[in-house]
């Protein structure tokens, strides 16, 4: 093997993936559009490059000396960011398209694309208590506007590059990945990090309440980052080319997650529900039948265990 390219290596999942790949003694090129001082994790034994991978020539430069590519690069964030930046999210289609073209040109062996549960049909997610979403539930297509459409279109691009050019592509639909060394403020953070931050700040300032977007009854399943990386590496080393869920089946309401973080923090808060704020679909969780069958993978960390690590890290940061 030559080198592994991690696109979006300065991001949350990218940083954790690089750490694991380094433990396996791989040579890595990490590329991100952000300035290096803004990368969540940066490693000395890695070739770290600032590049805008929306640009075709930049993708060719990044890919040219590699044999394997992980594409984790995109504009994304929590529901507030996604609902207010639809065009910006859709522009990430340029990253996947140009990376795939570069992979074809330089005869890359394997390509990983990070998709999202936002690719699923939103008409199936109108109730708080729903069955886990199976991979086939992405069609007929009606994903989250903007971000979800970009992910679904990019999945199809991967499929056709496998069919037409024999590029070995892997597609993972991530379900709300969280953990330390990620965004916890600024508008791009997701619910677990936001709740940990709000309760940690309330405890520090001795405040009695926090704001909660929506009524707190909306449900999701959340996957701890170490479980996510385990599944990504299993998928990458497999012969699976179809999109596959990487998530947890432990469905909880936002209110329940607040209960868990309150217990971890040993601090109770009142909840000021913001019904006008973006809140996404009413209910969503993963069905893991396919990944259990194909990869024999299950999450190792419960939500409470993962939130404990996440809360402790965020509390130290603030």
Condensed to tens digits (0 to 9), the pLDDT of residues 91-137 reads: 999 999 999 999 999 999 999 999 999 999 999 999 998 899 999 99
Same domain for 205 and 88: no
The stretch 211-225 carries a mean pLDDT of 97
Same domain for 65 and 172: yes
Same domain for 62 and 12: yes
- Tell me how far CA of residue 37 lies from CA of 46, 48, 49, 56, 247, in angstroms: 15, 11, 12, 25, 30
- Confidence grade of residue 1 (pLDDT, cut at 50, 70, 90): low
| Side-chain half-sphere CA neighbours of 182 within 13 A | 31
Same domain for 206 and 156: no
DSSP percent split of the chain into helix, strand, coil, nearest 5: 45, 20, 40
Same domain for 121 and 20: yes
Q: Is residue 186 part of a domain?
A: no
Q: Is residue 204 part of a domain?
A: yes
Q: How many domains are there within the chain?
A: 2
Q: Is residue 292 part of a domain?
A: no
State the chain's maximal CA–CA distance in angstroms: 60
The model carries a pTM of 0.96
Q: Which tokens in the block code for residue 159?
A: 């499929």
Instruction: Give the span between the Cα atoms of 261 and 212, in whole angstroms.
Output: 13
| Mean pLDDT across the chain | 96
Q: Is residue 275 part of a domain?
A: yes
Same domain for 86 and 171: yes
Q: Is residue 294 part of a domain?
A: no
Neighbours of 243 (CB within 10 A): 23
The stretch 68-96 carries a mean pLDDT of 93
Same domain for 74 and 123: yes
- Confidence grade of residue 2 (pLDDT, cut at 50, 70, 90): confident
Which residues are designated catalytic? 147
Provide the domain limits for residue 255. Answer: 191-220+251-287+299-317
Same domain for 105 and 205: no
Same domain for 270 and 124: no
């Amino acid at each position: 093997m030559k080198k592994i390219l991690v696109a979006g290596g300065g991001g949350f999942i990218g940083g954790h993936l690089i750490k694991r790949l380094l433990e396996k003694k791989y040579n890595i090129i990490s590329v991100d559009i952000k300035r290096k001082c803004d990368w969540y994790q940066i490693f000395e034994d890695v070739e770290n490059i600032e590049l805008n991978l929306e640009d075709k020539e930049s993708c060719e430069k990044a890919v040219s000396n590699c044999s394997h590519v992980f594409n984790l690069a995109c504009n994304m964030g929590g529901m507030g960011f996604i609902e207010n930046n639809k065009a910006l999210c859709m522009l990430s289609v340029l990253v996947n398209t140009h990376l795939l073209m570069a992979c074809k040109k330089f005869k890359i062996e394997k390509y990983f694309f990070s998709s999202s549960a936002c690719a699923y049909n939103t008409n199936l997610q109108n109730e708080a208590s729903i069955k886990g979403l199976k991979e086939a539930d992405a069609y007929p297509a009606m994903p989250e506007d903007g971000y979800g459409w970009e992910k679904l279109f990019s999945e199809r691009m991967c499929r056709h590059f496998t069919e037409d050019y024999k590029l070995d592509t892997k597609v993972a639909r991530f379900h709300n990945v969280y953990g330390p060394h990620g965004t916890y403020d600024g508008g791009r953070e997701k619910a677990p990090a936001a709740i940990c931050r709000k309760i940690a700040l309330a405890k520090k300032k001795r405040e009695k309440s926090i704001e909660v977007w929506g009524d707190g009854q909306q449900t999701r399943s959340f996957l701890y980052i170490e479980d996510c990386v385990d599944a990504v590496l299993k998928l990458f080393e497999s012969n699976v080319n179809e999109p596959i869920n990487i998530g947890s089946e432990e469905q909880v309401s936002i209110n329940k997650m607040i209960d868990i973080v309150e217990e971890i923090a040993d601090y109770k808060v009142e909840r000021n529900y913001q019904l006008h704020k973006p809140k996404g679909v009413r209910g969503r969780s993963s069905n893991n039948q396919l990944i259990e069958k194909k990869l024999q993978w299950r999450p190792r960390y419960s939500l409470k265990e993962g939130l404990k690590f996440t809360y402790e890290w965020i509390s130290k940061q603030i």
